[in-house]
Amino acid sequence: MIGNWLKTSILMAAIVALFGVIGGMLGGQQGMVLALLFGGAMNLFAYWFSDKMVLKMYQAREVDSTTSPYLYNIVRDLAGRAGLPMPRVYLIEEAQPNAFATGRNPEHAAVAATTGILELLSERELRGVMAHELAHVKHRDILISTIAATMAGAISALVNFFALFGGGGRDGEGRPNLIVGLALAILAPLAASLIQMAISRAREFEADRGGAEISGDPAALASALRKIEAYAQGIALPAAEMHPETGQMMIINPLSGGNLAGLFSTHPKTEERVARLMAMASSAR
């Protein structure tokens, strides 16, 4: 837990510094000050409201034991097995099978699943997936993941803001420096994606392991991962394509690839995840 808090603090400080550098390059000293203030404000906003922002991006609707008893009861049972408070449960009306967890701590957590994943997976497989998401909650991965997604979008917005209002740096004659502006338009999303890649790969393996322990069924999660990857590759998830910085939150990469979207492919290879889970299943026999 202390490790994740340290990672989160370092990430937030690094993002503010990155905002300052971008602001300085685009708007000089005044731009740096404005960008630092904006970065600080965004950090506060991200801590308290980033989960709500991400859920809104996906038009997720909260459900309960009356509106979606199948999903809700699975999550409630698994949360009890994991020793976690009951998270809020959300459903996303999308055909692509996928799921994610968000929130700032286990007491303020939410899990979300698409309608596609409920239709595709058996109950046993769905339990494996939701146990994986609850493992993210238990490991306190969700804060740093959600903040990274929100701040990556904010970095791109900062570049667009300065570009819109005549930023991009200025040459010796006071004219906009288009080369600097173009470089920043490329480097800012790249820097954001590198931040996400640094936090995403190892935690997926740990969430697979933790989820398998919570559900008591590593083979079910392995089977679910195979199915989700096979179907997700052929079905678009529009919200993820519009906000590729959120792709690292999903259990399987939801992006179709191409352009900058490929930079946000932060998941380990599914074959390796499946192999590790099947090794767990074998050792448990």
The domain limits of the chain are: 2-284
pLDDT at 145 > cutoff 70: yes
pLDDT tier at 100, thresholds 50, 70, 90? very high
pLDDT at 242 > cutoff 80: yes
More confident residue, 88 or 247: 88
Instruction: Please give the average per-residue pLDDT across 93-104, as a whole number.
Output: 95
Distance (Å, whole) CA 11 – CA 2: 14
Spatial strand order in the sheet of 88-92:
61-63, 88-92, 109-114, 99-103
Distance (Å, whole) CA 148 – CA 15: 9
The pTM for the full model equals 0.79
pLDDT for the residue 97: 97
pLDDT at 260 > cutoff 50: no
277: amino acid identity, one letter:
L
pLDDT for the residue 122: 98
Question: Picking from 6-15, 64-73, 78-87, 200-209, which range would have the lowest pLDDT averaged per residue?
Answer: 6-15
Which of the residues 125, 133, 204, 245 is marked catalytic? Answer: 133
pLDDT tier at 95, thresholds 50, 70, 90? very high
pLDDT at 117 > cutoff 80: yes
More confident residue, 28 or 135: 135
CA atoms within 13 A on the CB side of 64: 1
pLDDT tier at 162, thresholds 50, 70, 90? low
Backbone angles phi, psi at 268, to 5 degrees: -65, 165
pLDDT single digits (tens) 31-47: 788 777 777 777 677 66
Q: Active-site residue 213, yes or no?
A: no
pLDDT at 221 > cutoff 50: yes
CB burial string 45-73: b at 16+ within 10 A, e below: ebbeebbebbbebbebeebeeeebeebbe
Q: Which two tokens stand for residue 11?
A: 């990430």
More confident residue, 106 or 189: 106
More confident residue, 179 or 28: 28
Question: Picking from 25-34, 93-102, 139-148, 163-172, which range would have the lowest pLDDT averaged per residue?
Answer: 163-172
SS (H, E, C) 35-89: HHHHHHHHHHHHHHHHHHHHHHHCCCEEECCCCCHHHHHHHHHHHHHHCCCCCEE
pLDDT at 168 > cutoff 60: no
Q: Is 29 exposed, middle or buried (0-12, 13-18, 19+ CB in 10 A)?
A: exposed
Query: What do you get for the CA distance between the two ends of the chain, in Å?
Result: 31
pLDDT for the residue 26: 63
Kindly list the distances between the CA atom of residue 118 and the CA atoms of 44, 122, 156, 193, 231, in Å, as whole numbers in the listed order.
Answer: 35, 8, 33, 30, 13
Rounded percentage of the chain residues whose pLDDT exceeds 90: 47
pLDDT for the residue 175: 46
Going along 131-180, which residue ranges are E strands? none
Rounded percentage of the chain residues whose pLDDT exceeds 70: 70
Query: How many CB atoms sit inside 10 A of residue 85's CB?
Result: 12
pLDDT single digits (tens) 187-216: 666 666 656 655 667 789 999 999 999 999
Q: How far is CA 121 from the centre of its chain?
A: 22
C-beta separation of 67 from 214 below 8 A: no
